[in-house]
Amino acid sequence: MDMRALGRSGIRIPPLMFGGNVFGWTADEATSFRLLDRLLEAGFNAIDTADVYSRWAPGHAGGESETVIGNWLKRRGGRSKVVIATKVGMEMGTAEKGLSRAWIMRAVDESLKRLQTDYIDLYQAHRDDEETPLEETLGAFAELIGQGKVRAIGASNFTAERLREALQTSARLNLPRYESLQPLYNLVERAGFEAELEPLCRAEGVGVISYYALAAGFLTGKYRTEADLGKSPRGGGVKKHLNDRGMGVLKALDEVAVRLGATPAQVAVAWVVARPGVTAPIASATSLAQLEDLMKAARLTLDPAAIDQLDRASAG
């Protein structure tokens, strides 16, 4: 399988990172274990999570996803064969949040305990914290790398301006730099990434692990009218795509899928995988059937005609 370098970190991952936001939430521990076992068996070894997953669910406090992954690692073993990415910075219910040194140092130890591991492969700033100097945040990450608790660091949900400033700060002070960016990116939400972030990441050699490759399910094709929005609790999040452009993208996905013997969802993920500068999209599954679908997507090769058709349908 094609393994891709994550920035200049030395970490290599397959062209799909599994989204662990579902673990301990919409996928219980037994289901999560089956998904993780199958993922590894198929050669996909990269898992993305966060300390805050799944604090939004009733009765949850955060840390549920990391705990499930940790229990699985303890049972399965083979830690060195798995790439674990987690995040810090979101509010965890104690009013503590952000990217201060004090919070990062506490949060990393709590994540390591839940994950039942000595190190995190990729530790990401979940969102920017403009109230904390970049020097303080990057200095804290440097300490963690020096202690062996973290292999590399990444940024999530940063603007191009702030990512550029962070990279310049790292270079100026000889501190570790963000080796990856985690942005929102898919066929119907392109401009936010492509305008400034994509050229910056390509110029600086920053890896990109994008999220929402299926636009909250819209690109699966199951939402085509307002009546379809009631099919899922996530339906409200796709209403904004029910317009001429969105319908044009679905039409192109349908046509390419038929020609390639694939599904629209597989084609949508494969388009992100094929995008220059994208290291790997993140995608989640709550069943083995969904997981198999995602893994087929990561291995699906789109020909130039398919990419051109999808690019034209989704432009603008």
How does pLDDT run across 43-100, given as a tens digit for each residue?
999 999 999 999 899 999 899 999 999 999 999 999 999 999 999 999 887 777 899 9
What is the residue-averaged pLDDT of the chain?
95
Do residues 218 and 238 make contact, with C-beta atoms less than 8 angstroms apart?
A: yes
Q: Check pLDDT > 80 for residue 157.
A: yes
The mean pLDDT value for 98-125 works out to 97
The pLDDT of 233-244, averaged and rounded, is 80
Q: What is the pLDDT of residue 235?
A: 64
Would the pLDDT of 118 be above 80? yes
Full-model pTM: 0.95
Q: Give the alpha-carbon dihedral of 88, 92, 97, 101, to 10 degrees.
A: -60
Ranges 2-11, 84-93, 216-225, 262-271: which has the least confidence: 216-225
The encoded tokens of residue 181 equal 């960016």
Structure confidence by residue, pLDDT tens digits, 187-230: 999 999 999 999 999 999 999 999 999 998 899 988 887 887 87
155 has which bridge partners?
Answer: 125, 181
Cβ(217)–Cβ(243) below 8 Å: no
CA angle 10, 44, 30 (to 5 degrees): 125
User: Is the pLDDT confidence value at 3 over 80?
Assistant: yes
- How much is the pLDDT for 96? 78
The mean pLDDT value for 265-271 works out to: 97
Residue 227, pLDDT score:
80
211 is an active site residue: no
Question: Within a 13 Å sphere around the CA of 284, how many CA atoms are in the beta-carbon half?
Answer: 20
User: Domains (ranges, CATH) in the chain?
Assistant: 4-182 (3.20.20.100)
What is the b/e burial string over 135-151, where b = at least 16 CB atoms within 10 angstroms of the residue's CB?
eebbbbbbbbbeeebbb
How confident is the model over 25-48, as a mean pLDDT? 97
Q: Which residues of 68-96 are buried (b: 16+ CB within 10 A; e: fewer)?
A: bbbbbbeeeeeeeebbbbbbbbbebeeee
Contacts of 95 (CB under 8 A, 6+ apart): none
Lowest mean pLDDT among 104-118, 140-154, 216-230, 261-275: 216-230
Of 86, 40, 48, 94, nearest to 280 by C-alpha is: 48
Which helix H or strand E contains 136, and what residues bound it?
helix 134-146
Catalytic residue among 53, 119, 123, 223: 53
**Distance (Å, rounded) from C-alpha 245 to C-alpha 233?**
23
- State the Cα–Cα distance between residues 182 and 252, nearest whole angstrom: 26
